[in-house]
Amino acid sequence: MGRGDDHILLGLIDIRKVFSRRTIDEVTALDGINLDVYEQDFVTIIGSNGAGKSTLLNVIAGIYPPERGGKVCVADQDITNMPEYKHAAYAGRVYQNPSEGTAAKLTIEENMAMALLRGQSRGLRAAINKRRRELFRSALSPLGLGLEDRLSAYAATLSGGQRQSLALVMATISKPAILLLDEHIATLDPRTAETVLELTDMIVKRERMTTIMVTHNMDIALRYGNRLIMMHQGKILVNMGEEEKKKLTIADLVAAFERAAGEEFKDDSIMLSQR
Ligand SMILES: Nc1ncnc2c1ncn2[C@@H]1O[C@H](COP(=O)(O)OP(=O)(O)OP(=O)(O)O)[C@@H](O)[C@H]1O
Ligand SMILES: [Mg+2]
């Protein structure tokens, strides 16, 4: 990962998120998150169930605002209270479930046109022309999956791995400032997951994307990216930079998490898969 310069691309200041406030279900999903992500950082986030990982990505993507006092800045612009559709220009997303990132009843090219037009109101068909098709083909062909020759196939006819690869291309095609991946390989079989991960790494490097990738898998969190964050109960417990991460092993990671989270974490660590 080349961090050419030290420009902060994403700044999170004192991000809190409380759900179901003042009910018996009240939960503090994010409990004072401060984080700087530099241009071209590839941050992997690991943490047990309910740690707040998805909530954090949702706040960055503008699905809901943080509690008052929290601030989300992208490229020095405060986007905390921007509506979700405007966040879409900043953040491309790929979710866990292929059906969330791609529309089954649309063809590959219609899906891609939709991604390209995010936030605009022009019709899909009008958006597909010869020049656009060339763009779609050239974006798909590096995947090596032959999708560029199947532009009029329905997304429903693709395999899970193909759909997640398409979702990746869709999330990056309009060159958002940041790519958010929320366990985007979790539903795939191990071999397909590995392929999609390699494609992810390729796209991130080629497009020089600043990226945040959530995973449950410690091995993956170690192998990919230049920074690593561990979350637990709405807090960042471990925030490692490039040099530290390079030397890190899974055993170190478990130990670091246990140290930071204390004894109570011992049971939770089992929930993180190590392979
Ligand atoms: N929309 C919501 N309404 C109420 N509670 C929510 C909502 N979204 C998340 N939560 C709660 O906030 C906490 C954090 O959830 P979140 O989905 O961010 O965890 P996570 O780290 O992504 O977990 P997982 O690894 O299981 O995906 C959980 O206790 C969850 O139940
Ligand atoms: Mg989640």
Residue 3 within a domain: no
The SS3 call for residue 38 is strand
Are 89 and 140 in the same domain?
no
Are 253 and 119 in the same domain?
no
Residue 166 within a domain: yes
| Range in 48-52, 149-153, 258-262 with the lowest mean pLDDT | 258-262
DSSP 191-230: HHHHHHHHHHHHHHHHTT-EEEEEESBHHHHHHSSSEEEE
| 56 Cα nearest atom in ligand 1 | 18
Are 176 and 220 in the same domain?
yes
Residues 6+ apart with CB under 8 A from 137: 148, 151
Ligand 1 center to 233 CA (angstroms)? 10
Residue 1 within a domain: no
Are 232 and 140 in the same domain?
no
Residue 231's domain comprises 8-102+161-271
CA-closest candidate to residue 169, choices 111, 214, 225, 117: 111
Residue 119 has pLDDT above 60, yes or no: no
Q: In the predicted model, what is the mean pLDDT of the chain?
A: 89
CATH number of residue 81's parent domain: 3.40.50.300
Residue 108 within a domain: yes
Ligand nearest to the CA of 59: 1
Pocket lining: 226 vs ligand 1, CB cutoff 6 Å = no
Determine what percent of the chain is predicted with pLDDT higher than 70: 91
Are 66 and 110 in the same domain?
no
Are 90 and 186 in the same domain?
yes
Both tokens of 268, joined, read 């939770």
Question: How far is residue 225's CA from residue 184's CA, in Å, rounded to a whole number?
Answer: 15
Pocket lining: 111 vs ligand 1, CB cutoff 6 Å = no
DSSP 97-151: SHHHHS-TTSBHHHHHHHHHTTT--S-TGGG--HHHHHHHHHHHGGG-SSGGG-T
Residue 275 has pLDDT above 60, yes or no: no
Q: What is the pLDDT of residue 122?
A: 63
* Residue ending a domain, choose from 117, 135, 157: 157
Residue 45 within a domain: yes
Are 35 and 93 in the same domain?
yes
Mutate which of 17, 22, 53 for ligand 1? The one with the most ligand atoms within 8 Å of its CB, which is 53
Q: What is the pLDDT of residue 271?
A: 52
Ligand 2 center to 37 CA (angstroms)? 20
Ligand 1 center to 32 CA (angstroms)? 16
Q: What is the pLDDT of residue 1?
A: 47
In which residue are the tokens 């219609």 written?
Answer: 110
The string of pLDDT tens digits covering residues 102-117 is 999 999 999 999 998 8
Are 82 and 51 in the same domain?
yes
Ligand 2 center to 53 CA (angstroms)? 5
| 96 Cα nearest atom in ligand 1 | 27
Mutate which of 17, 53, 55 for ligand 1? The one with the most ligand atoms within 8 Å of its CB, which is 55
The number of domains in the chain is 2
| Range in 84-88, 136-140, 220-224, 260-264 with the lowest mean pLDDT | 260-264
Pocket lining: 53 vs ligand 1, CB cutoff 6 Å = yes
Are 127 and 203 in the same domain?
no
Higher pLDDT, residue 115 or 43: 43
DSSP 233: T
Q: How confident is the model at residue 11 (pLDDT cuts 50, 70, 90)?
A: very high
Question: How far is residue 149's CA from residue 187's CA, in Å, rounded to a whole number?
Answer: 26
Residue 95 within a domain: yes
Sign (positive/negative) of CA torsion 46, 52, 58, 59? negative
Q: 1-15, 193-207, 257-271: which has the highest mean pLDDT?
A: 193-207
Residue 2 within a domain: no
* Residue ending a domain, choose from 157, 175, 194: 157
The SS3 call for residue 173 is coil
Q: What is the pLDDT of residue 2?
A: 47
| Range in 117-121, 204-208, 258-262 with the lowest mean pLDDT | 117-121
